[in-house]
Chain A
């Protein structure tokens, strides 16, 4: 099976999920006895192409154009259609980043093909490739197989594979330029400046203890309960996205893919279901505690200690037991 891996960079800096996806691509190539081709897109990214070429793959395609300097869905789709026409892959693998989810379904559909998105793994059994993805917010997994003729498209979730397992090549792979034809009128949107909101007031990345609250808290007026627990623990309070969306806590307290990524020595998740977008922001924590009334909540999958119960009973009890332990 010939595999085309599409990497992602911005301003000549890799999005590191590219290398996690490389690991999956290397494994599938080895199992199916196929070739692996990696593509690097942008402008002035030849050094990145050179770096990718040190990895174990058969060829690197360098796709450069003035109109690819800044990402646009139209530009990337037009360019990649041409790359695919030349490379003729069976399987196109991409990292499931915000940028990829913005163009990859369009790219596949423009070729009349489908995409299996946000996969957490794959299986290759009896000559058949099956991708595994989550459904129902991580409460179930699904085995999904392609039906129609190749090329097939699949994206892999951040953290599904470990970038440090990427194999280096015995020799440097050839880097070949692919010239693509792009005209300004092909691109209907105008990308403008990137920015961050006003400076973050708290840096949660430095906090040794984080008490994080999710929608299980139900109402803003219940927050003092959690604030008190954080105080007793000497920790910072943080939250899942819906709590910040509601404005109950400021945005800079949000943990997850669109918030902060933290790795404290203790992370206590209270009434948080454990959706992947949250988990990517905290799974590096040394010790994780989860309290949830649903024994099947995905958050337990990343927890060292769990309590299946009502946070409105557990939080006060925990605060009291901690006070007791302190004075003992």
Chain B
């Protein structure tokens, strides 16, 4: 079973976000980047399927040079090789343009299964997996919490709202977007890190894919949302703030 996993690199969780005046993206200098956390679950699921059914796992990431690090980390955990779709300005792409580019790279090969995370922590489109399926002409399922493969078909557990789930069946090949919590992602071992050094990353300039990326939508500006609720911030040392809070909860909110 040959599996492609789409892995995005995003600003680190605790990175201070600075927005240039009138900007449509954050200032990227001086911040750290990391693997989009939900994609770690997709990678783990791909590795487990490979361990069970054989085949190879290919990590695909689109972005500037720095995303090679994310691909290397995936290879250190067990992905067999990587594909880097190179584009320094990929953050300007709209969901469709981004998915068209990834789809063009995926189409160069033959995969039985394509996995994505459910949502990226930066753009948070929540669209890429579904778009890939449409562009590749494949069936799909989203918010997946369990995958069983048998005789070229999959039995899938899909998460619904408010604690509900649904079983469904889908043929292969297909695209699945994986929900966080489906598994416990492994850590890279020293051996894995060494082995990754010999693995290959194919670089494909996005421009060479010849995809139409005429935007369907444009981010005009991003900004820190204006506060609409008056939150009373209690200041002082931890102890002082805690004492003030108890006072407020008792006598103002009257909830104690």
* Interface-central residue, B19, B95, B216, B232, by most chain A CB under 10 Å: B216
Q: Assess whether B242 is in contact with A321, with CB atoms less than 8 Å apart.
A: yes
Tell me which residues from 256 to 273 in chain A have a Cβ below 8 Å from any Cβ of chain B.
257-261, 265-266
Q: Assess whether A301 is in contact with B227, with CB atoms less than 8 Å apart.
A: yes
Q: What 0/1 pattern do residues 157 to 183 of B give for CB contact below 8 A with A?
A: 001111111111111000000001100
Q: What 0/1 pattern do residues 110 to 146 of A give for CB contact below 8 A with B?
A: 1001111110000000000010011111011111111
Contacting residues, chain B, for A304 (C-beta < 8 A):
231-232, 253
Contacting residues, chain B, for A130 (C-beta < 8 A):
220
Within the assembled complex, what's the spacing in Å between the Cα atoms of A133 and B31? 23
Known A145-B220, A245-B181, A259-B163; judge A305-B255 contact (CB<8 A).
no
Stretch of A86-94, A166-174, A188-196 lying at the B interface: A188-196
Tell me which residues from 107 to 155 in chain B have a Cβ below 8 Å from any Cβ of chain A.
121-127, 130-131, 133-135, 139-143
Q: Assess whether B217 is in contact with A147, with CB atoms less than 8 Å apart.
A: yes
Q: How far is the CB of A263 from chain B (nearest CB, A)?
A: 13
Q: Assess whether A142 is in contact with B221, with CB atoms less than 8 Å apart.
A: yes
Within the assembled complex, what's the spacing in Å between the Cα atoms of A109 and B96? 7
Stretch of B46-54, B193-201, B202-210, B243-251 lying at the A interface: B243-251
Known A134-B124, A189-B170; judge A196-B17 contact (CB<8 A).
no
Contacting residues, chain A, for B142 (C-beta < 8 A):
98, 101-102
Known A191-B168, A193-B167; judge A300-B161 contact (CB<8 A).
no
Within the assembled complex, what's the spacing in Å between the Cα atoms of A320 and B170? 55
Q: Assess whether B161 is in contact with A141, with CB atoms less than 8 Å apart.
A: no
Contacting residues, chain A, for B171 (C-beta < 8 A):
188-189
Contacting residues, chain A, for B188 (C-beta < 8 A):
none
Within the assembled complex, what's the spacing in Å between the Cα atoms of A313 and B19? 31
Q: Assess whether A305 is in contact with B245, with CB atoms less than 8 Å apart.
A: yes
Q: Assess whether A114 is in contact with B231, with CB atoms less than 8 Å apart.
A: no
Known A309-B238, A314-B238; judge A147-B216 contact (CB<8 A).
yes
Closest to B228 in A: A301
A310 CB-CB contact with B under 8 Å: yes
Q: How far is the CB of A295 from chain B (nearest CB, A)?
A: 8
Main secondary structure of the interface of A (DSSP, over half): mixed
Tell me which residues from 304 to 328 in chain A have a Cβ below 8 Å from any Cβ of chain B.
304-310, 313-314, 317-318, 320-322, 324-325
In-complex Cβ contact of A105 among B95, B184, B232 (8 A): B95
Contacting residues, chain B, for A117 (C-beta < 8 A):
95, 125-127
Q: How many residues of A contact B (CB 8 A)?
A: 91
Q: Assess whether A287 is in contact with B17, with CB atoms less than 8 Å apart.
A: no
Closest to A143 in B: B220
Within the assembled complex, what's the spacing in Å between the Cα atoms of A266 and B122? 31
Closest to A153 in B: B216
B11 CB-CB contact with A under 8 Å: yes
Q: What 0/1 pattern do residues 64 to 106 of B give for CB contact below 8 A with A?
A: 0000000000000000000000000000001110010000000
In-complex Cβ contact of A110 among B99, B134, B164, B167 (8 A): B134
Within the assembled complex, what's the spacing in Å between the Cα atoms of A265 and B140? 42
A97 CB-CB contact with B under 8 Å: yes
Within the assembled complex, what's the spacing in Å between the Cα atoms of A74 and B14? 39
Known A105-B130, A304-B253, A314-B241; judge A189-B217 contact (CB<8 A).
no
In-complex Cβ contact of A193 among B95, B166, B248 (8 A): B166
Q: Assess whether B231 is in contact with A306, with CB atoms less than 8 Å apart.
A: yes
Q: Assess whether A301 is in contact with B122, with CB atoms less than 8 Å apart.
A: no
Closest to B245 in A: A305
Within the assembled complex, what's the spacing in Å between the Cα atoms of A318 and B250? 13
Known A287-B255, A321-B243; judge A106-B130 contact (CB<8 A).
yes
B224 CB-CB contact with A under 8 Å: yes
B32 CB-CB contact with A under 8 Å: no
Q: Assess whether B130 is in contact with A101, with CB atoms less than 8 Å apart.
A: yes
* Interface-central residue, A105, A139, A209, by most chain B CB under 10 Å: A105
* Interface-central residue, B159, B161, B224, by most chain A CB under 10 Å: B161
Contacting residues, chain A, for B134 (C-beta < 8 A):
105-106, 109-110
Contacting residues, chain A, for B122 (C-beta < 8 A):
135-136
Q: Assess whether A105 is in contact with B131, with CB atoms less than 8 Å apart.
A: yes
Q: What 0/1 pattern do residues 14 to 34 of B give for CB contact below 8 A with A?
A: 100101000010100000000
Q: Give me the interface of A with B, judged by CB distance under 8 Å.
A: 73-74, 97-98, 101-106, 108-110, 113-118, 130, 133-137, 139-148, 188-197, 200, 209, 233, 241-242, 244-247, 251-252, 257-261, 265-266, 286-287, 289-290, 294-296, 298, 300-310, 313-314, 317-318, 320-322, 324-325
* 21 intermolecular pairs with C-beta atoms under 8 Å apart: A101-B126, A109-B131, A118-B126, A134-B225, A135-B124, A136-B11, A137-B121, A140-B26, A141-B224, A143-B219, A147-B216, A195-B166, A245-B180, A301-B229, A303-B231, A304-B232, A309-B238, A314-B241, A317-B239, A318-B242, A325-B250
Q: Give me the interface of B with A, judged by CB distance under 8 Å.
A: 11, 14, 17, 19, 24, 26, 94-96, 99, 121-127, 130-131, 133-135, 139-143, 159-171, 180-181, 184, 214-225, 227-229, 231-235, 238-239, 241-243, 245-246, 248-250, 253, 255-256
In the A-B complex, list the 6 residue pairs whose CB atoms are closest, starting with the nearest.
A114-B216, A245-B181, A313-B238, A188-B139, A317-B242, A192-B167
